[in-house]
Amino acid sequence: MDQVTEAAKGFPGVRCVANYKYICSDPGQAIIRERIEAEKLEGVVVASCSPHMHLKTFRAAAEAAGLNPYLVEMANIREQCSWVHHDKEKATAKAIELIRLSVAKVLRNRPLDAIRVPLTKRVLIVGGGVAGIQAALDVANAGFAVVLVERDPSIGGKMAGLSETFPTLDCSQCILTPRMVEVGQHPNITLHTYSEVEAVDGFVGNFEVTVRKKARFVDMDKCTGCGDCWTKCPSKKTPSEFDYGLANRTAIYVPFPQAVPARPVIDKDACIKLTKDKCGVCQKLCQPDAINFDDQDQLVTEEVGAVIVATGYQLYSIGQDQDEAFLSGYGEYGYGRYKDVINGLQFERIVSASGPTNGEIQRPSDAAEPKTVVFLSCVGSRDNAKGLSYCSKICCMYTAKHAMLYKHKVHDGEAHVFYMDIRAGGKNYEEFVRRAIEQDGAIYHRGRVSKITQENGKLIVRGADTLAGKPVTVEADLVVLASAIRPAAGVLELARKLKLGYDAFGFLSESHPKLRPVETNTAGVFVCGACQAPKDIPEAVAQASAAASKVLIMFSQSELTRDPEVANVNELTCAACYACLRSCPYGAIEEAEIRDRKGNLIKHTARVNPGLCMGCGTCVAVCPSKSVDLEGFSEQQIYEMVKNLV
Amino acid sequence: MTSDIQEQLRQTCRRLLEEEKVDVVIGYGQSTADGPAYPVFITAPQDVDRLVWNDRCFNNLTAYLTRDEVKSLGKPAIVVKGCDDRALVVLEQESQINRDEIVVIGVACEGVGEPRAAKCAACDVHMPRTADETLGEVPNGPADLEAAYAELDAFMAQSPEERMAYWRGEFERCVKCYACREVCPMCYCNRCIVDKNRPTVIDTSAHVKGNLAWHVTRAFHQAGRCVGCDECTRVCPAGINLRLLNLSLARAADKHFDYRAGMDKEAAPVIGAYREEDKEDFIL
Amino acid sequence: MSETNGFEPKIVAYVCNWCTYLGADLAGTNRLEYPPNVRIIRLPCTGRIDFNLVIKAFEMGADAVLVSGCHPGDCHYTAGNYHARRRWILFRELLDTLGIDMNRIHFAWISAAEGKKFQETITEITEKTRALGPYEAYRQLCEASS
Amino acid sequence: MSQTLSHEDLLKLVDGCLGQGKVVAGPTLVKPDLCAYAALRASDQLVLKDFIHPANSIKGFFFPRHEPICVYRLNGNDVELEDVDPPKTEQIIIGVRPCDAAALPILDHVFNWDYADKFYNERRENTTVVTLACTDYDDNCFCTSVGLGPAAEKGSDAMLLPLGDGGYEVRCFTDKGKALFEGKTTPSDKTGSASEGPARKIDVKWIEEALEDDYENPAWKTISLRCLGCGACAYNCPTCHCFDIVDEGDAAGGLRVKNWDSCQFGQFTVHASGHNPRANQGQRQRQRIQHKFRIYPEKFNEILCTGCGACTRNCPVALGVLNTLEALRAAAAPDTSEVG
């Protein structure tokens, strides 16, 4: 280190050199501040870790001492030197060179002031499940405009289809539908259902979002939701998405009675008029004449300052065919082959009072009341070999709930649960599971199920009880699979549009697992709910409110400040060939004219919109006359470094 | 043939000037029959007889369209050969000219120079493609790109060391008179990077190092833009075969992006556009 | 490993700030050792890396140059690396025509997660260049110019 | 009696000098179709016929296009300077056209006027110029208009006049010339001959007068319309001598070098403020001609032009001094509307 210190003293322009073990610590920063003031420094180079680690820290320290923060550079002698080179001598020599390069650069740095950009105080929320609804209401109630985009014909998401919720067993719809109605009627909320995000332009504070409103074939303004159309629709054979195929719906339909908006939509693949150009009954019946068979998708653009992604989850699709090669599909459980092997969400519909069986426990095959029901947890979850490595987190709880609800309705029935571990972390969760076992007599087997077969009307569930250490076989009437939670389909496309990161399983990446749990690496875009990771309702709601509060913090400012390390054009030498304009990934460069006082055209020139420029510098590379340059990485700065490579 | 064209040319220009459709005609003049043709700027109808057309009309006159001295003369008519015409397309793509403000007189060209210039060997634009008025008729050759790149292929047959040695010899002669730059329609920057010194990207000295840096820069700035008029090569007092460098980039654009400069105004320029499937077999 | 009597190749790496530079940081955090011959110049994006910088590096006596950034689709600035790739495709042909030694110019996609790849790439390039020896042809050309 | 030398003996002489480590230069084919003055590696590279004038001039052997004049080393915040000494190597240039040789005495003025340029002078000292009288001319030659001719002796140490049989009559004018051919020539009664000189003529007297207060002459604008503003004329001109001084190097140090420059470049006169007193090509052309035919003569009593025609031959648009002067003359005559 002393060697390095000595060498640094000799570099052109170096006024003083300080050596401190923890320069990023308070006392370390104090040294920087003190030297800046004492020596009237015009530039600082910190030779320590990666600029990604602490450049902000040191720039702030400099600013505190009255030095423009952009006159601070770093030399990365840790991650890119001492940590990777064992040859002490060579590493030291390299460190000295790295510092010389940074000193050379900083001599060419210019003081820069943060750029101020206007802020559109309107948020886009993608996904109208419970998380999206919560975030929407929080922002809207704070007095800011919300644009809520939902892919399905109604908001409500998965929660709208649930029966009762653990651990309190309150009716899911009873608590959700009032919030749905509130969203539908809220003056600050613009609701786009049956719509998807087509494209996203712009940047934090100034996004321009294109929303595709899918053709509904029903005029939302004229329609009164009377129901004449869907009661009379002759096409009745389409499996209901809302009931997960346990019941059918008509071609013109509202997904469920409490849908918001309570307006139908025509399924163009099922509608006889749209497929065969026959029928048209709904149109004839419709008093307000709201049916429009010529309806087309519409693209609407919404200007927003922030985005919250709440696209939720889907279930691991049990069965043979999988979208990912590494998923086996659990064909041995016979899902899809045996009508009475269903997944958790289907069971939710069966026990739901508003479900296809009005809450009567009937098995799909013959509507008989199942006397023995087997619940399997971890179908796909925690299974590196055949499924996903992670824990889907909510299955233990809802499986216990399912067993409990079943027993409440079928008192003489048997509820068997096969589990790996019971994960009941959460307020009143453990107690809830104990209740299922001790009060309601659910039979828990610690072990996995190897195979399910069907023999004379019974489902033979072969598993093991690892505690008892013996095989277990249960002859069941119904099997419910707690299949793993996966991010909703299409989330990756959305992630690309928003430039968001995601993990190997497609869950969106927060920008810090502990300290920035709802922020993403794209400024102005936030995440909440199951699109980030599996979570239950209270967690999703809490995270939604967190995302909302982040947006509100942003909206509490009158304008945004941005990093001034952006491109600028030397309009004197610009030849206006617009190569920069053509290659700018952000459309941040525009054609401009220079005119004299009398308004006569002097010349054309390219001009950078500092509000849009993100500072990639592609324009610099394509400018033949180098009439465009990039603050922070200017031609002079870079070439000064290169000249020091000798 | 050429003499008829010359006559039609004079008539056309006389008409344009008399009807005040244009203020100046940028064309070719010649002092002596065997002397070289050179650019002339005719502003009065009675001077149109100074215009000539023959196979000594080398210059790519489009280089003048971006010059202030010429712009100040008013609305121009310009005489172009097929290859020059391609330059017009690029200049328009790059917003340097407004075609509505220019009358383009195309002349059918059988080739220039005696013996014919190298570029003419594989010419497939004997007829200007975008001219407002075209004089004469020469069937366009087929786009024989093999032939077009034959000279380059022959050169590339040498080893890299031989190639480097060759260029070193060439660049040792370069005096940096910048005739290659000034004569080029695409070099319209009002301040060339080599004339900038903060920082000095390219040594201004006419030594091998500085000359290599200069010629790499000149050539690469032509990537996907050079229309192969070969004027840079023709005018080089040191006889440096810049054509080879231009060809290598022209072929690269052709081979990898199916792009030929100045052939299609609507085509997305090579630099400033991309395809996700662009090749990357050379990237680790 | 090298018989070229203590010749230490000088390697200049122009890398993007968001992928390769972070990849290099990760190599550091994971203590993945590689030869100290490389000098990293951090730029925001491969889109910013101009061909003149490559030439300048050789003028400064570099024996090899590496240009590296984000994988296609991963660019922090969405498309800078696509534009860069275009220019490289063309530029390589020009350099080849000029007889520049193509074994001394390397392009790589190295993501922020590929600390290992960074280590491997630098090691490979260093050893390859060590085997090639100093870039005499270019050095002579520069010396002839003083 | 004249002194003569066979072509073979001349080549022997060349090889002899090369053998002694001297630089021997002369017209040679740098490319199959391009003859230029260049240093020779062997006598067989020397070309003494079938060309009117090499593409370039010989000024580069006295005033190179790129010349280090001082070395600097950067050491921390200190700078070390070290002068560069001019090369001492003896040079012999053979087969020089009289118009190129004549440029040397003309240049001597400017390189020794307010400051004696040791680099130029040293090279002049160490160089012997052997001219080759012209037996032909082309449409671009006009040496006779500026007081020279196919066998002008100005600037020559010795001259070769072709005998027609492949040999030359050798005339020595200076000690350097004598020393070079001492004992190499044989007495003879044959005398060499030169052509009668170019057909095209201009009246330089008229030019010099015309250039008096001609600054506002609108003709310049039209005459120079076609000028592209490159340096092909100046850099191949035997008398143009503008140079630029730049520092070139890296963080360790570098060189202060003297590089050719040209008044035809747009950037030539740009001020730091961005203002350019010679903003258009007309003004730059005017400057070039003014300097050659009025300013330099007024200052040194010599025309800064030897009528070699290299400017025209090298001009991308066939302009050059001669055509410019003729255009100026024509513009002065009211009867035409000559342009460009």
pLDDT in tens, B37-87: 999 999 999 999 999 999 999 999 999 999 999 999 999 999 999 999 999
**Are both A378 and A471 inside the same structural domain?**
yes
Residue B46 contacts by C-beta under 8 Å, 6 or more apart in sequence? Answer: D337
Please tell me which of the candidates C25, C45, C61 has its beta carbon nearest to residue A617.
Answer: C45
Best interface-test mutation with C: which of D67, D73, D247, D250 has the largest number of C CBs within 10 A? Answer: D250
* End-of-domain residue from the set A464, A485, A506: A485
Helix (H, G, I), strand (E, B) or coil at A373: strand
| d(CA A604, nearest CA chain B) in Å | 9
B201 touches chain A (CB under 8 A): yes
Average pLDDT across chain B, whole number: 94
Using CA atoms, how far residue B28 sits from B43, B188, B232, in Å, is 13, 21, 18
Q: What is the DSSP string of A463-482?
A: EEETTTTEEEEEEESEEEEE
Q: Please name the residue of chain D whose CA is at the shortest distance from the CA of residue A9.
A: D76
> Does D250 contact C146 at a Cβ distance shorter than 8 Å?
no
**Are both B160 and B115 inside the same structural domain?**
no
Phi, psi for residue A444 in degrees, rounded to 5:
-100, 125
Using CA atoms, how far residue D266 sits from A259, B178, B200, D276, D285, in Å, is 74, 12, 18, 8, 11
Average pLDDT across chain C, whole number: 93
Query: pTM of this prediction?
Result: 0.81
Nearest to A614 by CA among A559, A564, A551, A557: A564
B275 touches chain A (CB under 8 A): no
Would you say residue B281 lies in a domain? no
Number of domains present in the structure of chain B: 2
Mean pLDDT for B258-268 is: 94
B176: region left, alpha or beta (phi > 0 left; psi from -120 to 50 alpha): left
* End-of-domain residue from the set A467, A485, A503: A485
Would you say residue A639 lies in a domain? no
* End-of-domain residue from the set A451, A485, A519: A485
**Are both A359 and A409 inside the same structural domain?**
yes
For residues A521 and A511, is the Cβ–Cβ distance under 8 A? yes
> Does B213 contact C59 at a Cβ distance shorter than 8 Å?
yes
Q: Name chain C contacts of B207, Cβ cutoff 8 Å.
A: 144-146
Nearest to B83 by CA among B46, B121, B50: B121
> Does C60 contact D255 at a Cβ distance shorter than 8 Å?
no
pLDDT in tens, B189-233: 989 999 999 999 999 999 999 999 999 999 999 999 999 999 999
D261-286 as b/e: b if 16+ CB within 10 A: bbbbbbebebeeeeeeebebbbbbbb
Best interface-test mutation with C: which of B274, B275, B277, B279 has the largest number of C CBs within 10 A? Answer: B274
B121 or D236: which leads in pLDDT: D236
Q: What is the CATH code of the structural domain delimited by C11-143?
A: 3.40.50
**Are both A203 and A230 inside the same structural domain?**
no
pLDDT at D280 over 50: yes
> Does A84 contact C77 at a Cβ distance shorter than 8 Å?
no
> What is residue B142's predicted lDDT score, i.e. its pLDDT?
78
B253 touches chain D (CB under 8 A): no
> What is residue D339's predicted lDDT score, i.e. its pLDDT?
46
Please tell me which of the candidates C26, C32, C83 has its beta carbon nearest to residue A618.
Answer: C83
ipTM of the complex as predicted: 0.94
A157: region left, alpha or beta (phi > 0 left; psi from -120 to 50 alpha): left
The parent domain of residue A259 ranges over: 216-295
| d(CA D86, nearest CA chain B) in Å | 18
Decide the pairing of beta strands D127-132 and D158-162.
parallel
> Does C106 contact B284 at a Cβ distance shorter than 8 Å?
yes
> Does C119 contact A84 at a Cβ distance shorter than 8 Å?
yes
> What is residue B1's predicted lDDT score, i.e. its pLDDT?
61
Would you say residue A81 lies in a domain? yes
Report the percent of chain D where pLDDT is more than 90.
90
How many beta-carbon pairs below 8 A join chains A and C? Answer: 126
Band of pLDDT at residue D335, cut at 50, 70 and 90:
low
Please tell me which of the candidates A582, A583, A626 has its beta carbon nearest to residue B201.
Answer: A626
Q: Name chain C contacts of D68, Cβ cutoff 8 Å.
A: 146
> What is residue D334's predicted lDDT score, i.e. its pLDDT?
65
Q: Name chain A contacts of D250, Cβ cutoff 8 Å.
A: 643-646
**Are both A209 and A225 inside the same structural domain?**
no
What is the CATH number for A53?
3.40.50
> Does B216 contact C98 at a Cβ distance shorter than 8 Å?
yes
Tokens, residue D188 = 């003879």
Please tell me which of the candidates B193, B221, B269 has its beta carbon nearest to residue A582.
Answer: B269
CA gap A516, A507 in Å, rounded: 16
Q: Name chain B contacts of A624, Cβ cutoff 8 Å.
A: 189, 192-193, 221
Q: Name chain A contacts of D74, Cβ cutoff 8 Å.
A: 12
> What is residue D337's predicted lDDT score, i.e. its pLDDT?
47
Would you say residue B100 lies in a domain? yes
Would you say residue A85 lies in a domain? yes
> Does C146 contact D255 at a Cβ distance shorter than 8 Å?
yes
Please tell me which of the candidates B188, B200, B272 has its beta carbon nearest to residue A575.
Answer: B188
The parent domain of residue B228 ranges over: 145-257
> Does C60 contact D250 at a Cβ distance shorter than 8 Å?
yes
C1 touches chain B (CB under 8 A): no
Tokens 């599909």, residue located:
A329
Residues of chain A below pLDDT 50: none
B201 touches chain C (CB under 8 A): yes
**Are both B161 and B94 inside the same structural domain?**
no
Compute the 3-state secondary structure of chain D and give helix, strand, coil in percent, each to the nearest 5: 30, 20, 45
Domain ranges of chain C: 11-143
Q: Name chain B contacts of C92, Cβ cutoff 8 Å.
A: 282
pLDDT in tens, D286-303: 999 999 999 999 999 999
**Are both A548 and A475 inside the same structural domain?**
no
Long-range Cβ contacts of D69-73 (<8 Å, 24+ apart): D69/D119, D69/D245, D69/D256, D69/D257, D69/D258, D70/D255, D70/D256, D71/D253, D71/D254, D71/D255, D71/D256, D72/D247, D72/D249, D72/D253, D72/D254, D72/D255, D72/D256, D73/D252, D73/D253
**Are both A481 and A580 inside the same structural domain?**
no
**Are both B224 and B150 inside the same structural domain?**
yes
Phi, psi for residue B282 in degrees, rounded to 5:
-95, 0
Q: Please name the residue of chain B whose CA is at the shortest distance from the CA of residue C83.
A: B274
**Are both B171 and B84 inside the same structural domain?**
no
CA gap A644, B8 in Å, rounded: 63
A78 touches chain C (CB under 8 A): yes
pLDDT at D83 over 60: yes
Q: Please name the residue of chain A whose CA is at the shortest distance from the CA of residue B272.
A: A583
| d(CA B173, nearest CA chain C) in Å | 13
Q: Name chain A contacts of C57, Cβ cutoff 8 Å.
A: 642, 645
A91 touches chain C (CB under 8 A): yes
- DSSP structure class, residue D70: E
> What is residue C2's predicted lDDT score, i.e. its pLDDT?
43
Point out which residues pair with B30 in neighbouring strands: B37
Nearest to B84 by CA among B278, B280, B234, B268: B234
Q: Please name the residue of chain D whose CA is at the shortest distance from the CA of residue A645.
A: D251
> Does C47 contact A618 at a Cβ distance shorter than 8 Å?
yes
> What is residue A10's predicted lDDT score, i.e. its pLDDT?
92
**Are both A170 and A306 inside the same structural domain?**
yes
Mean pLDDT for C11-24 is: 95
**Are both B170 and B149 inside the same structural domain?**
yes
Q: Name chain D contacts of A644, Cβ cutoff 8 Å.
A: 250-251
Please compute Rg for chain B using Cα positions: 19
pLDDT in tens, D18-33: 999 999 999 999 999 9
| d(CA C60, nearest CA chain D) in Å | 8
> Does C25 contact A90 at a Cβ distance shorter than 8 Å?
no
> What is residue A272's predicted lDDT score, i.e. its pLDDT?
95
Helix (H, G, I), strand (E, B) or coil at C20: helix
pLDDT at D340 over 60: no
C45 touches chain A (CB under 8 A): yes
For residues C56 and A639, is the Cβ–Cβ distance under 8 A? yes
What is the CATH number for A601?
3.30.70.20
Other beta carbons within 10 angstroms of residue B4's beta carbon come to 11
Tokens, residue A49 = 């870790």
pLDDT at B146 over 90: no
> What is residue A326's predicted lDDT score, i.e. its pLDDT?
83
CA gap A348, B17 in Å, rounded: 87
Cα-based angle A274, A276, A277 (whole degrees, multiple of 5)? 65
Please tell me which of the candidates D31, D260, D340 has its beta carbon nearest to residue B239.
Answer: D31
Using CA atoms, how far residue A294 sits from A218, A279, A283, in Å, is 10, 15, 12
pLDDT at D336 over 60: no
**Are both A369 and A437 inside the same structural domain?**
yes
> What is residue C143's predicted lDDT score, i.e. its pLDDT?
87
